[in-house]
Amino acid sequence: MNTPAHVAVNLVVLGRKHRPELNVPILLGSLLPDLPIIVFYMVEKLYRNLPESVIWSDAYYRPGWQAFIDVFNSIPLALAGWLVFTVWKHSRPAIFFASMALHATLDFLLHHDDAHRHFMPLSDWRFESPVSYWDPDHFGQVMSFVEIAAVIGTCMILWRRFPSGGARRMTTGLAGVYSAYWAYVMVVWM
């Protein structure tokens, strides 16, 4: 899934109307697994000035980048963080790690050739899902429409669940970032 879609889904799944103070840790936990990919892309695109085809067919698969990305997508590490803070009764860090784990679990189901090592440091195994959120050879076109529908639906749920001005600005911002992402995709990758 694309990063804004993770944010929207995680806020709907983990967010609670009576606990709006957990929205920021949920948001941050849904962003963190993709932060290394954003850093990677900025370094390769803006600093090294590589073309898109090289970024995603070669640079992305370099061992150093893969290790950096996979640490932040480790389900065992996220669950360990969740368990520690749940036992210590610290709800904000616990929900942050739960959000990271949910993000990684959804990615586990939606990555094929670009799968992460979701069980490191316990294993270097990569599950190559038969379904990809982007790759047309693995239902990527269908999944893109499913993702768009999910983001629209989750933004509607968030709008109704959290009527405060701040939450609605966050939902509007999320929809705006997601729209900007697709505009970038249309200009750069298509």
pLDDT digits (tens, 9 = 90+) for 121-179: 999 999 999 999 999 999 999 999 999 999 999 999 999 999 989 889 999 999 999 99
| pLDDT of 47 above 80 | yes
User: Residue type at 145?
Assistant: F
Rounded mean pLDDT of 48-66?
97
Tokens representing 123 are 């294993």
Sign of CA dihedral 23, 11, 120, 86: positive
Domain ranges in the chain are: 3-11+31-73+104-189
> d(Cα 179, Cα 187) in Å, to the nearest integer?
13
pTM exceeds cut of 0.75: yes
| pLDDT of 117 above 80 | yes
| pLDDT of 189 above 90 | no
> d(Cα 84, Cα 79) in Å, to the nearest integer?
9
What is the pLDDT, as a whole number, of residue 135?
A: 96
